[in-house]
Structure 1
């Protein structure tokens, strides 16, 4: 019997890239999940091709994940990958019925992201030592993360041609190479201009890094790890004990917008979320904030 697994997994990878426009990291995660299923099939049902799988086989695979004490988060992600794979087979008319339809995803409690309140944001911003060699660059980085809600990868990949200073917008290339226009606040723009005109302009820039906005001292674009370390070290220096990362600034950006009454669809657009359900987590944060206000301020709390 012909083994169609590797052929279909290869086609699935291509589909995720070309049809779904997913990022390389997302594609790799999906494919790894299907390869886990394939490994299980090889061990227990070596003669079954993807188009012959029944629900019972998938159920046994999921049971094995549970028996191996795989976390519910990982189980949920693997099941999501399996469902995507069989939807692809349906899309390509390689199967007539989807055996994964009845697979139940374990309930995952959604962890609310860590945020900084506005006073802590100010504490971080003002904690940057502008007299140090990378001071103005670091201040511009933090201002932009908070002002525009950028992912750290969007910040490190940002190029000079994507900054529209005259209209106060950034053209961001997000997940799956999807573009969006994001406003940049006046303070962030001010510190960005200082960095570009007074610091970066005088740097010796490495070949092939000329277009990147944020550079290290060797004239090469910053890495995500470097941005993480800049923020972690600054949080330690100013005495913030929360676990602070570049993503904390993105979460704080969204949370403060929602608390201020911003429309959820507008926040979704600025964050570059494909689904509004991802953005809705910030409404939960807002409700927690409102409850806390009631507890702290109401006379009959």
Structure 2
């Protein structure tokens, strides 16, 4: 399909703007270019030769084609369709701001809402088996056990855990000070098993690792005495999950999801869990209540004598 020169020029100017003035990443630029190619092909089929000719109906029809297929291509997944609509909206907003368009006809067209994915959480028994088998009695093993105990005990993100400094952990008050997203700090309680693992590591292992470095303040150190990386922490969990015989992909976020799910299943208020996780909005945390409802449905379906009608 040949794209009218005026449409191609408008898209090219917009992509140049993203590259030069916004410093947009190459992968994002490539995605926008593909989405806008599909959009301009749609406009060309509709007989539109330039961006000022586009109406809200053209944009809405493009969105419908993304959702349902357009005869030439199959429908896109909700997340991909949402990205394409964002690209189209951004193109029109750019044209309006630059004075190329007299109106922003795409402003009222909204991307589809991607389906909410339920977080993956391990059963409590699997988490306990993972933690009980974590690490060994050498310095690295003591560090690994302390790290995994802390992740599950606090629900910390992996970046928050490896970002901890020694002074951020108060063993008397049983708390840890985490540096969250956007530079926001939060004080979280630490359970006794995690404190015991941390104490064993800090007394028996960390000094051995620290002697090989240059005096890092980090709680978790690598073999050279520097701060443990997120990648190494991830590998620690992966290795421990394999030793525990836990099937499937287990990531540091899996422990965070398990922490939240187990709290809510135990009766914790969703707003308390929100604070512990460092979520800006309770809406983000409420997804864990869906996990619990699904569990309740499964138990009801198998255990209640009248569940199946």
Larger of the two Rg values belongs to structure = 2
Pick the aligned partner of 1:167 from 173, 185, 195. 173
* Matched position secondary structure for 2:121: coil
Q: Name 1:100's counterpart in structure 2.
A: 107
Q: Name 2:200's counterpart in structure 1.
A: 194
Pick the aligned partner of 1:250 from 246, 253, 256. 256
In structure 2, how many angstroms separate the alpha carbons of the residues matched to 1:93 and 1:173? 40
Please list, as runs of the form range in 1=range in 2, the aligned pairs for 1:1-301 lying within 5 A after superposition.
3=13, 6=16, 55=56, 56=58, 60=62, 63=65, 67=73, 71-77=77-83, 79=85, 99-105=106-112, 107-203=113-209, 204-207=211-214, 210-301=216-307
* 1:129-165 Cα shifts (integer Å, max 9, x gaps): 4324422111111111111111112222222232233
In structure 2, how many angstroms separate the alpha carbons of the residues matched to 1:164 and 1:35? 51
In structure 2, how many angstroms separate the alpha carbons of the residues matched to 1:48 and 1:177? 45
TM-score w.r.t. the length of structure 1 is 0.74
The offset of 1:224, in angstroms, is 2.2
Q: Name 2:5's counterpart in structure 1.
A: none
* Matched position secondary structure for 2:119: coil
The one of the two structures with greater contact order (alpha-carbon pairs below 8 A, sep at least 6) is 1
Mapped contact 1:58–1:100 kept (Cα < 8 A): no
Greater alpha carbon shift after TM alignment, 1-10 vs 113-122: 1-10
The offset of 1:112, in angstroms, is 1.9
* Matched position secondary structure for 2:205: helix
The offset of 1:299, in angstroms, is 3.9
* Matched position secondary structure for 1:134: helix
The offset of 1:8, in angstroms, is 7.0
Segments of structure 2 that go 5 or more residues without pairing to the other structure are 1-8
The offset of 1:173, in angstroms, is 1.7
TM-score w.r.t. the length of structure 2 is 0.73
Segments of structure 1 that go 5 or more residues without pairing to the other structure are 15-26
The offset of 1:34, in angstroms, is 5.8
* 1:210-229 Cα shifts (integer Å, max 9, x gaps): 02221121222222222222
Structure 1 residues 5, 256: CA separation in 2 closer, same or farther (over 3 Å shift)?
same
In structure 1, how many angstroms separate the alpha carbons of the residues matched to 2:22 and 2:282? 26
Structure 1 residues 40, 266: CA separation in 2 closer, same or farther (over 3 Å shift)?
same
Mapped contact 1:86–1:98 kept (Cα < 8 A): no
Structure 1 residues 5, 261: CA separation in 2 closer, same or farther (over 3 Å shift)?
same
In structure 1, how many angstroms separate the alpha carbons of the residues matched to 2:22 and 2:60? 18
Mapped contact 2:59–2:109 kept (Cα < 8 A): no
